[in-house]
Structure 1
Amino acid sequence: MELKKWHQMRAEELQDMLGVQPQQGLTEEDVERVRKKNGWNELTEAKRISPIILFLNQFKDFMVLVLMGATLLSGMLGEYLDAITIIAIILLNGILGFVQEFRAERSLLALKQLSAPSAKVIRGGKLDVISTKLLVPGDIIVVESGDRIPADVRWLETNSCSVEESALTGESLPVSKHSQAIDEDEVPLGDQKNIGFMGTMMTRGTAKGIVVRTGMETEMGKIADLIQNTESQDTPLQHRLEQLGKILIIVSLALTVLVVVAGIMNGQPAVGMLLAGVSLAVAAIPEGLPAIVTVALALGVQRMIKRKAIVRKLPSVETLGCASVICSDKTGTLTQNKMTVTHVWVGGRDLEVTGDGYAPLGQILENKCPVELKNDQGLRRLLQIGTLCNNAEIVETVSDETGGKRKGKEEEETDSSWDLKGDPTEGALVALSSKMGMSPSSLNGLYKREEEFPFDSERKLMSVVVCHQGGRLLCTKGAPDVLLRKCSYILWEGKVVPCTGTLRQKVLDANEEMASKALRVLGTAYRDLRPQERVGSEGEAESQLIFVGLTGMIDPPRREVRDAIATCRRAGIKTVMITGDHGTTAEAIAHQLGIIPRGGLSMSGQELSGLSDEQLDAQVDHIYVYARVSPEHKLRIVKSLQRKGHVVAMTGDGVNDAPAIKASDIGIAMGITGTDVTKEASSLILSDDNFSTIVSAIEEGRNIYENIRKFIRYLLASNVGEILTMLFAMMLALPLPLLPIQILWVNLVTDGLPAMALGVDQPEKDLMEHKPRGAKENIFGRRLGWKIISRGFLIGLCTLGAFWLTLRIAPDQPGQLIKAQSVAFATLVIAQLIHVFDCRSSRSIFHRNPFQNKYLVIAVLSSLILMLAVFYIEPLQPIFKTVPLGLREWALTIVAASIPTFLMGIGSVWGGNRHKHRGNGRIVVKSTKISA
């Protein structure tokens, strides 16, 4: 016979299996025996990497090894300032990486803080308070409102018991608990209503239960295990930089050796060629690349903070730029996490409610016209019941100048200053009444509560008795189908009439209509009590009621999210909703927001459990909504998408989201509602919990990556130009066109400020109109490699041409070689400084305003001044082996330096114009999106 699961067992079966009686609890001998088998009730930690090893691991990256080689070469050349700079860059990047990884290891510590410090337990027939760590399976515990549940517990007795489980299950509302067995075998966590989970909070009522799982066997323990055993993903940027480093070292060393060998074979001094070769190798290795990347990311972080996003890991900013799927939690991210009444049904009339959140801003409309409450007895009674049969409070607060909150003046267009204290469902009813001027404060002076029969999950009703000048009143709200069975009358068209079968069916039809829209529906009823009538129980009170009407509420979508999702779709990014809520609610919100396209699918956690990884991979691209899912499900979804080649951004706020957030390419936590566990596992925190902020982050990430590509394009094309200048000269048996000191000076002048200014360039207008780049896209993809080689070839050819023409004028004249080398030096620098403006556009220099980036203009002017200094400051001339140039030399230099950029730019414009008019008379406006 198959062993039953905890939620399937009756109380007697539980007691027999665990050998305990609820009144007596375990004995100390029992406790010791069970603890030897099950261990302590705590989350155990995997063996941690020592901080020293973690720090040393930061220097295993291939690009770091390349930089160390550049440091050695710089030292050999006596360029100690360069060597010190490179070492500082290496240490800075190592420290940043160490801090990020060290902080990521703190997720489990944050998870432990969710554990209750103590628990009320019955042992040996006595109620005692002990450390949570000492609990064992079989212990009988008592939990009250406000207590954190200390272990996984199967409830034996419940009294109006509700538990806040959103951090674990994603359920947006507190869950009512009961003690009855559940017969089904596979039941999602959110539907295991006879189980209490470790780390969740009891918000109402009291309960007694028997501990069934402790420590790492609890659902919280399973999450801790997932976090520890889930490896963080390297970012696409890290992959690309490692790839770039390998290519650079191989190519630069090969070309350098070729230059040295060619020079020696053509009669150049071996020592001089070796020194020139080492200089070329240092110039070819972009030691400034990590610094530029770090600065570009750091400045992006500052811009992100202004956009309400806090970055915890620098590379994550760029990773967002290539995200192809965003897996988003529903509650609080896509929705406002503020239950709002949107529909009212009273006396056969369907009424619409405007406004959202808890602010008293909005109206009740009938056929688009405002309802007059004064002449509407049914609506007035419904609002009255919703306000009196209620324990929630809405508090008005506004931020003062210091950033704190204080009581204050009503804000006209925002509800951000209205905070709920109590149950979200009851808060929605208070907000509804306040919109019509019937606030709790206006009724408190007229009605005084005598008695309350709290809501519980078995009877699904709540009732209160209030007295007023005219007598006493019983107000009841709850599940419409249950409440209707308690009603003998109905308030119809302002009159109390018998509740006939026909009228009952109309109520049920209205309830079904609201439920089909994924609304949470509550019914309201009342009856007048006689002056001396006493109601000693719920059964006595909740009978012969007068049914009034229905209220339908939902957690509404954020206003700006629909546009943000549309922007994602245009950018080729798929949005997926993953939630612990019910499927009907999730699908309704997804349709409102435009998440599900035609033919898109949704799936429940139960259906997901029945799929193998291969079956899930086959369907995952077509699924847009996952409902009623567990933490393991979320992790499976993220990994399946990654196996399909997607770069996945995962958002969430609860403990249940942490494993998937850590496993995703970019983990995003909610700053307001997020738990510390989720924040520690994340790379990015949204300070406003808003999905649209993610879209802003994606735009920022794309721009940062494009700026990094601009820098690489500029730097490598310049370096290729330097190497080819030397290589062509050696192959043609010409003298050295550039001296080692000049090569190093070019490297310093052109790798510095202009490259840094490219790192903060503004985005091109159509940045968010392109599909995300592939996770495995080569750093030289999208023709970047061709642009680097072609521009570098032209720069090298034009530099050598200027050198040869100057040398040819008077080859035997004393000092002519120095003048030709000076012309080559100037041509190379100016060609690179012109080329930097070409690198701002994916098309050509003519497609963007060259003065738009003021930092770049200033940087280029600074580099020009530094270049001119070595020509016209006499003490520097013998150091750099330069001479002042005349007008003829400068004219030759400027013309030769301009050819590479303007020749390719004119070709790009001409090619773009041809593409506009090509193909069956169809005009393609953008040359980057050509279709036949």
Structure 2
Amino acid sequence: MRWYKSNLTEVLEKLSTNIHDGLTEKQSNERLKQVGENVISDHEKVSRFYLFVQQFKDFMVLVLLAATLVSGLLGEYIDAIAIMAIVLLNGILGYFQEQKAEKSLAKLKELSAPVVSVFRDGEWISISSRYLVPGDIVKLKTGDRISADLRLIESKGLEVEESILTGESLPVHKHTDVISEDVELADQHNMAFSGTLVTRGNGLSVVVATGMSTAMGQIATMLSSTDRMPTPLERKLEELGKILIVAALLLTAAVAVLGIYQGHPIYEMFLAGVSLAVAAIPEGLPAIVTVALSLGVQRMIKRKAVVRKLSAVETLGSATVICSDKTGTLTQNQMTVRQIFVPNQQLNVTGKGYQPKGKFMINDHKVNPLESKPLTNLLQHTLLCSHAEVMNTKGKYHIDGDPTEGALVVAAEKAGIHRKQLSEFKSIYEIPFDSTRKRMSVVVEDASGPRFVITKGAPDVLLKRTSWIQEGGKRKPFTPNREKKVNLVMQQMAQSALRTIAVCIKEIDPQKEYQDFQLESDLTFIGIFGMMDPPREEVAESIKSCRQAGVKTVMITGDHVHTAQAIAKQLSLLPLNGKVMDGYQLSNLTDEALEEVIDDVYVFARVSPEHKLRIVKAFQSRGHVVAMTGDGVNDAPAIKASDIGISMGKSGTDVTKEASSLILMDDHFATIKSAIEEGRNIYENIRKFIRYLLASNVGEILVMLFAMMLAMPLPLVPVQILWVNLVTDGLPALALGLDQPEKNVMSRPPRSQKESIFARGLGYKIISRGLLIGIVTLIAFVFAYHKNPNHLEYAQTVAFTTLVMAQLIHVFDCRSDSSVYARNPFGNLYLVGAVISSILLMLLVVYFEPLQPIFHTVDLPYTEWIFIVALSAIPTFLWVPTKN
């Protein structure tokens, strides 16, 4: 269907929709069933069977299976079947781990999918873009990533960057006119296509195609790779794994050679060596890291932080600077007009939030705003220059649109001025707001009067373009004396922590064409709004916590210097000797000069997006790991350049979210603090189970090596080694990944990104505890064997149970860097449950008679357990000097 050749009436009729009510919920559900979800199909998914088979592709597992086959051919059927069963069980556990990780990552992908504003049942609602259907009426605004193919209904300065589809790097200006001739995709200027980006303006559109029916779907172009790249930590661990594999193979080879030299059967030592290698090599470490990362990410979701890139989880623990927006992040993002200035008159406005109820006061006396012509004139013009709408959902007022515009609309409604009363005015052209220009303008046509421009924005920007002032119903020159009075009012508002917005107008000739710069020059000043966005209650405490954690918080805002400074002091963000810098000062500094002073600056005011990028790079040049927040399309470069890009889930544009590695679902600064805390904890939990796994593996290898060196019988048979690996490695290691943060996690300095995984004494703890686990297991074996030298299986059972118990007791020591006494053992019930499960599985093979011949175990008298538990506790409770 060539939608660009049809007029809007035909398009809406063919799609059975209308712009007054949109689709009904019933219609949208029926269409969703017919056309499917609005997604570009991923590459062919790996079948579950293939994923299961992948668990057995590891070289050592294949060698073990081959060795098991040899065992079976030599008549050792029970051992062969037992080992095959353990390998199968291990594969099943690995399969479920990978499935869980994949589901977690898929959930993350869904959570970070674009949200669109759609008109259904006569109301604007926000939905995930995957639920869009043909016929939906959709709003477009600057920064949106377009999620379906659209026919434009309304375009106000709308420009779309379509390079992903057409290769054209410059944004394309869009209109709604019918295109009569046949044109290529790049020339369909009344259409917007899935995957492209709104760079300017806003508009209204109707969905004509979704999913694989879009232009993007038809050419099978993927917007981004669906393959997950390994994080730096995973890559580091993969390299570590290769080193450990070599070390483990050398040690197990030594065990096998020594055993053969001492007269043990070759096939028995070969099988023992391979079993030991399989148990000792941490081939499952990357999978467990992925699961731990994804489980940690799920916890972060509960704390309102969506991680788009797993590498951010690691980087969070290293953050030293948070560069934060003020509005909505440090403050409540509930702008409320508190003061209004019209020439020679200043009013206070009461009321809270977005409820359109309040009084207008002059010197504590209530006034009727409709009796003041300058005030009515200001409110009416401001309403015409705003897109926000006040919504009332079940008695709760909220804003659909920009919060600043929302505050202005609420102020007008408090005065009894509503948009429907201004229906005779028609907006015919718009110059959208831009954070660099710090202003927006609309050209409005009065059905019975002239055409005029309304411009609103930062007062210091507008006053430079102002030549006139509206006083006493007349236009008068904007003399230096009058400008001084206006600047004084603006400064007083800013010192009261009020954000200021100025409004200007200009009458233009309808017969004449104007350039944008001409529309926004020679303006007439009509008033200023002073609005308050109160600081969030929890932010001051979060900033304090970050400071204790060695993380500096920096406020970056487009507000006036005095406003920013007042808010920073309220939040205890600005220390006694902390500096405040504005955009003008920043522009006059070279990069080198900025780097010299950047550590002393805590507030940047009146800055542009280009300044934000310079600030990030200056901090990074000083060796800082920078977290940067933003919401607008122009913030994307700074967010992408930062070490941890953070976008706003509510107010952020789609392009900012795509550039970020973390999305704040509630836009709260406190969520950043929580994310840093969780990020640190995830990294520490990964260190915990690495410590546990490697210490256990060292113990397993050493007990066998020491026995061979002492010319003793095998303390463990192959099937026992594999069972120890299955019982003690999997569940407890995963449970450590669920450990809650230690109390001092936010009182430690940030971790250096160059820090080795074995830093802070971890390598020493692994070797020392592993050595002790190996020694106590060997001692248990020697005592049991000498007590009854004719009953080798009894001694092997004692060694087997001692090794398992030593590892399971040691897991509680791994929960803290200091000692086993530092944390309540019942603080992680998942770990308690995992340890109890592992003990029960161990007891099953010891006391359940049908399994005894398979695992070469015998019943142990209960008195033996006192000896076993006492020995097993030594590696954990024996004091070993710690090297930090």
TM-score by length of 2: 0.66
Report the Cα distance in structure 2 between the residues aligned to 1:581 and 1:709, rounded to whole angstroms: 43
| 1:243-262 equivalent positions in 2, closer than 5 A | 243-262=239-258
2:61 to 71, 87, 110: 71
Matched to 2:293, the amino acid is L
Report the alpha carbon displacement of residue 564 of structure 1 after superposing the two structures with TM. 2.9
Counterpart for residue 775 of structure 1: 753
Q: Contact 1:461–1:483 (CA<8 Å) still a contact in 2?
A: no
Matched to 1:773, the amino acid is R
Report the Cα distance in structure 1 between the residues aligned to 2:446 and 2:680, rounded to whole angstroms: 61
Report the Cα distance in structure 1 between the residues aligned to 2:454 and 2:488, rounded to whole angstroms: 21
Counterpart for residue 715 of structure 1: 693
Residues 659 and 712 (structure 1), Cα distance of their counterparts in 2 relative to 1, 3 Å cut: same
Give yes or no for the alignment of 1:440 onto 2:417: yes
Counterpart for residue 282 of structure 2: 286
Counterpart for residue 570 of structure 1: 548
Counterpart for residue 735 of structure 1: 713
Counterpart for residue 870 of structure 1: 845
Counterpart for residue 655 of structure 1: 633
Report the alpha carbon displacement of residue 743 of structure 1 after superposing the two structures with TM. 0.9
Give yes or no for the alignment of 1:796 onto 2:774: yes
Residue by residue over 1:71-110, the C-alpha shift from the partner in whole angstroms, topping out at 9 and shown as x without a partner, is 3344334345565655848976997899899999999x98
Counterpart for residue 399 of structure 2: 419
Matched to 1:201, the amino acid is G
Report the Cα distance in structure 1 between the residues aligned to 2:372 and 2:795, rounded to whole angstroms: 95
Residue by residue over 1:443-490, the C-alpha shift from the partner in whole angstroms, topping out at 9 and shown as x without a partner, is 999x998999999999999999999xxxxxx99998696989546669
Report the alpha carbon displacement of residue 822 of structure 1 after superposing the two structures with TM. 1.0
Secondary structure (helix, strand or coil) at the match of 1:359 reads: coil
Give yes or no for the alignment of 1:397 onto 2:391: yes
Counterpart for residue 322 of structure 1: 318
Give yes or no for the alignment of 1:855 onto 2:830: yes
Secondary structure (helix, strand or coil) at the match of 1:843 reads: coil
Report the alpha carbon displacement of residue 837 of structure 1 after superposing the two structures with TM. 1.6
Residues 240 and 566 (structure 1), Cα distance of their counterparts in 2 relative to 1, 3 Å cut: farther
Report the alpha carbon displacement of residue 733 of structure 1 after superposing the two structures with TM. 2.3
Counterpart for residue 201 of structure 2: 201
Matched to 1:285, the amino acid is I
Report the alpha carbon displacement of residue 899 of structure 1 after superposing the two structures with TM. 1.6
Report the alpha carbon displacement of residue 884 of structure 1 after superposing the two structures with TM. 0.8
Residue by residue over 1:563-605, the C-alpha shift from the partner in whole angstroms, topping out at 9 and shown as x without a partner, is 3333322222233455677877766665655555534464749
Matched to 2:394, the amino acid is G
Report the Cα distance in structure 2 between the residues aligned to 1:504 and 1:705, rounded to whole angstroms: 57
Secondary structure (helix, strand or coil) at the match of 1:721 reads: helix
Report the Cα distance in structure 1 between the residues aligned to 2:586 and 2:334, rounded to whole angstroms: 29
Secondary structure (helix, strand or coil) at the match of 1:898 reads: helix
- Structure 1 stretch displaced more, 293-302 or 843-852: 293-302
Residue by residue over 1:514-559, the C-alpha shift from the partner in whole angstroms, topping out at 9 and shown as x without a partner, is 356674254899xxxxxxxxxx99xxxxxxxx99985423666555
Q: Contact 1:602–1:625 (CA<8 Å) still a contact in 2?
A: yes
Counterpart for residue 490 of structure 2: 511
Counterpart for residue 683 of structure 2: 705
Give yes or no for the alignment of 1:237 onto 2:227: no
Report the Cα distance in structure 1 between the residues aligned to 2:98 and 2:87, rounded to whole angstroms: 12
1:755 to 733, 737, 756: 733
Q: Contact 1:301–1:311 (CA<8 Å) still a contact in 2?
A: yes
The number of aligned residues is 725
Matched to 2:493, the amino acid is M
Report the alpha carbon displacement of residue 431 of structure 1 after superposing the two structures with TM. 2.9
Residue by residue over 1:837-868, the C-alpha shift from the partner in whole angstroms, topping out at 9 and shown as x without a partner, is 22222222222221222222222121111111
Report the alpha carbon displacement of residue 291 of structure 1 after superposing the two structures with TM. 3.4
1:373 to 357, 366, 370: 366
Residues 97 and 203 (structure 1), Cα distance of their counterparts in 2 relative to 1, 3 Å cut: closer
Matched to 2:673, the amino acid is V
- Structure 1 stretch displaced more, 324-333 or 575-584: 575-584
Residues 819 and 569 (structure 1), Cα distance of their counterparts in 2 relative to 1, 3 Å cut: same
Residues 519 and 730 (structure 1), Cα distance of their counterparts in 2 relative to 1, 3 Å cut: same
Counterpart for residue 139 of structure 2: none
- Structure 1 stretch displaced more, 515-524 or 829-838: 515-524
Residue by residue over 1:220-242, the C-alpha shift from the partner in whole angstroms, topping out at 9 and shown as x without a partner, is xxxxxxx999xx99744224423
Counterpart for residue 408 of structure 1: 394
Secondary structure (helix, strand or coil) at the match of 1:397 reads: strand
Report the Cα distance in structure 2 between the residues aligned to 1:594 and 1:780, rounded to whole angstroms: 37
Matched to 2:58, the amino acid is M
Report the Cα distance in structure 2 between the residues aligned to 1:869 and 1:645, rounded to whole angstroms: 55
Query: Structure 1 vs Structure 2: percent identity of aligned residues?
Result: 49
Residues 424 and 689 (structure 1), Cα distance of their counterparts in 2 relative to 1, 3 Å cut: closer
Counterpart for residue 820 of structure 2: 845
Matched to 1:397, the amino acid is M
Report the Cα distance in structure 2 between the residues aligned to 1:645 and 1:310, rounded to whole angstroms: 27
Residues 355 and 719 (structure 1), Cα distance of their counterparts in 2 relative to 1, 3 Å cut: farther
Residues 605 and 864 (structure 1), Cα distance of their counterparts in 2 relative to 1, 3 Å cut: farther
Report the Cα distance in structure 2 between the residues aligned to 1:73 and 1:642, rounded to whole angstroms: 49
Matched to 2:241, the amino acid is G
Q: Contact 2:234–2:286 (CA<8 Å) still a contact in 1?
A: no
2:292 to 280, 289, 296: 296
Report the alpha carbon displacement of residue 287 of structure 1 after superposing the two structures with TM. 3.3
Q: Contact 2:369–2:376 (CA<8 Å) still a contact in 1?
A: no
Matched to 1:804, the amino acid is V
Q: Which has the larger radius of gyration?
A: 1
Unaligned runs of 5+ in 1: 1-49, 122-130, 146-167, 169-196, 205-226, 399-406, 412-416, 468-473, 492-498, 526-535, 538-545, 912-927
Secondary structure (helix, strand or coil) at the match of 1:904 reads: coil
Q: Contact 1:661–1:681 (CA<8 Å) still a contact in 2?
A: yes
Q: Contact 2:275–2:721 (CA<8 Å) still a contact in 1?
A: yes
| 1:81-160 equivalent positions in 2, closer than 5 A | 85=90, 88=95
Q: Contact 1:385–1:476 (CA<8 Å) still a contact in 2?
A: no
Report the alpha carbon displacement of residue 247 of structure 1 after superposing the two structures with TM. 3.7
Report the Cα distance in structure 1 between the residues aligned to 2:454 and 2:681, rounded to whole angstroms: 57
Counterpart for residue 379 of structure 2: 387
Report the Cα distance in structure 2 between the residues aligned to 1:634 and 1:549, rounded to whole angstroms: 30
Report the Cα distance in structure 1 between the residues aligned to 2:334 and 2:674, rounded to whole angstroms: 24
Report the Cα distance in structure 1 between the residues aligned to 2:559 and 2:694, rounded to whole angstroms: 52
Residues 639 and 273 (structure 1), Cα distance of their counterparts in 2 relative to 1, 3 Å cut: farther
Give yes or no for the alignment of 1:341 onto 2:320: no
Give yes or no for the alignment of 1:893 onto 2:873: no
Report the Cα distance in structure 2 between the residues aligned to 1:664 and 1:511, rounded to whole angstroms: 34
Report the alpha carbon displacement of residue 292 of structure 1 after superposing the two structures with TM. 2.6
Residues 276 and 637 (structure 1), Cα distance of their counterparts in 2 relative to 1, 3 Å cut: farther
Residues 618 and 280 (structure 1), Cα distance of their counterparts in 2 relative to 1, 3 Å cut: farther
Report the alpha carbon displacement of residue 629 of structure 1 after superposing the two structures with TM. 6.9
Residues 266 and 362 (structure 1), Cα distance of their counterparts in 2 relative to 1, 3 Å cut: farther
Q: How much is the aligned-residue C-alpha RMSD, in angstroms?
A: 6.0
Report the alpha carbon displacement of residue 753 of structure 1 after superposing the two structures with TM. 1.9
Give yes or no for the alignment of 1:680 onto 2:658: yes
Secondary structure (helix, strand or coil) at the match of 1:851 reads: helix
Report the alpha carbon displacement of residue 661 of structure 1 after superposing the two structures with TM. 4.0
Counterpart for residue 305 of structure 2: 309
Unaligned runs of 5+ in 2: 1-40, 69-82, 115-142, 156-161, 178-195, 205-222, 432-436, 506-510, 513-523
Residue by residue over 1:163-194, the C-alpha shift from the partner in whole angstroms, topping out at 9 and shown as x without a partner, is xxxxx9xxxxxxxxxxxxxxxxxxxxxxxxxx
Residues 360 and 785 (structure 1), Cα distance of their counterparts in 2 relative to 1, 3 Å cut: farther
Secondary structure (helix, strand or coil) at the match of 1:440 reads: coil
Report the alpha carbon displacement of residue 827 of structure 1 after superposing the two structures with TM. 0.7
Matched to 1:439, the amino acid is G
Report the Cα distance in structure 2 between the residues aligned to 1:419 and 1:627, rounded to whole angstroms: 26
Residues 730 and 608 (structure 1), Cα distance of their counterparts in 2 relative to 1, 3 Å cut: farther
Report the alpha carbon displacement of residue 720 of structure 1 after superposing the two structures with TM. 1.2
Report the Cα distance in structure 1 between the residues aligned to 2:806 and 2:350, rounded to whole angstroms: 63
Residues 573 and 321 (structure 1), Cα distance of their counterparts in 2 relative to 1, 3 Å cut: same
